[in-house]
Amino acid sequence: MLMNLEELAWLRDNGLTVDLFAGGGGWTCGFERALGRNLDIALNHDPFAVTLHAMNHPRTHHICQDVWHADPAEAIRGRPVFWLHASPSCTQFSRSRRAMPAENQMREMGWRVVEWAKVARPVVITIENVKEYLDWGPLGSDGFPIKERRGETWRAFVQALRDLGYDIDWRLIDSADFGAPTARERLLVIARRDGIPIEWPAATHGPSAGKPYAEAGDHIDWSIPAPSIFTRRKPLAPATLTRILKGFQRFIAEDPSPYLAPPGTRVGDGQDRADLVAAFLAQNHALLPGRSARKPASTICTKAAGQGLVTASFINVLRNNAVGTPMNSPLNTLCASGGHFAEVRVAAEEVRTAAYGVGFYSTGGGQLKDLGGPMGTITCKDRFAIVTIHGVPHRLVDIGFRFLQAHELWGMQGFEVGPAFARDNYITAPIANGKPLSQERQKKLIGNSVVPHVAFAITSSILKTIDRYRPLPMAA
């Protein structure tokens, strides 16, 4: 049954808006931009998250309390509620936790949404979580989900909202489809009791939408050097080197037009001797090669351990009388104008190139050699000593690798993208006890946050359906 139109219009403009798991403010940023007014109540148990949220949303009433102890009646104080959003903890459902037993109390947080719905009676409820939330079911005595009862609790949860008079629908949404620089697929749930049919936003980016995906490379801080993978005091793990090798092959060596960093980008050893610096995003999971910096970043987790940057610096083999040769040729056949110092430098570069390329041929993918030991067999073919970039031959000088820092990840998550979903001066490292919020805590907040682009798209879609039903103003 359609809600009274005048009441619905009033609630849209004046009813309370609540975010039960506000975190760093991802949902709030997109939601406020779409609604055109401030979020009224934000709740979170983490004092660091509440501090950051309060600094960026000072007009919101903040409750630093565990959702299990927060009293909805006390929070709303009899005032009508227009919108309730909730992003219950996803760690107990995520695929990354499959090897560990789950905590039942953490998995049951969704039921607090039902309790708030009973007391607050919001017109609209939105929920965000990982797609495995659809498999929500009881745990066995060993702490692992009972496979035969997969989805049982989810279905009961849905029915509980329907019993309260809500129409409910859900869909998997990828934030990259709505202009975010990160590809983050999440389950979005919409429940409403105004009688208006649920509609979903159409993708704005991607092949089907006719608008290119946002590039993660736009949010990389190129002033930060990526240390060389060859000269580290503590060598990178073999699995990491293998991932770097695979990514280099796919996104640089085999790509005639690889992603190039801006001119002046610092190379791995800090010596600005490179003509070009190509780059891609490393993926620190399994043996995945990573992804092009022209694409949205992969899903940012709470530790942000999956996002790294690999830079490959090159010099033009046609400049300064330099001549490119196969890697199995004598080192002194690769020379540069100048004295002995230049010759020594080039020789070192050629050794680095050979050491890196040795693992690339099909039968030697695992042959990663330490520069302090024997080189290993060098084949009779040129193995990536020379790479053609935009039709011009370049010689590999160095490979750099580093993990992305918090301020880069904030941007990739959609907090500092124009047009700004968050304020241009969004505070991401508030000072607490005389110290800025640590990289570790910032990354946790980023990984737990809703991408603002998704919040904006979902909110806008729902508001449009309400606007179509709003009564026209009466003529004077």
For residue 280, the model assigns a pLDDT of 93
Percent of the chain with pLDDT over 70: 75
Q: How far is CA 258 from the centre of its chain?
A: 22
Residue 183, amino acid? A
pLDDT tens digit sequence for 239-260: 888 889 899 999 998 888 899 9
Q: How far is CA 362 from the centre of its chain?
A: 33
Element (H, E) at 395: strand 392-403
The mean per-residue pLDDT over the stretch 442-455 comes to 92
pLDDT tens digit sequence for 164-223: 999 999 999 999 999 999 999 999 999 999 999 999 999 999 998 989 999 999 999 998
211: Cβ contacts below 8 Å, ≥ 6 apart: 179, 204, 205
pLDDT interval class at 39 (50, 70, 90): very high
Pairing of β 16-19 and β 41-44: parallel
All structural domains of the chain: 5-212+408-469 (3.40.50.150), 222-404 (no CATH)
Name the pTM for this structure.
0.82
For residue 62, the model assigns a pLDDT of 97
**DSSP-assigned letter for residue 377:** P
Nearest of 283, 307, 306, 302 to residue 446 by alpha carbon = 302
Q: How far is CA 133 from the centre of its chain?
A: 19
Element (H, E) at 29: helix 26-35
Pairing of β 386-389 and β 307-316: unpaired
pLDDT tens digit sequence for 81-105: 999 999 987 765 665 555 555 565 5
Residue 13, amino acid? D
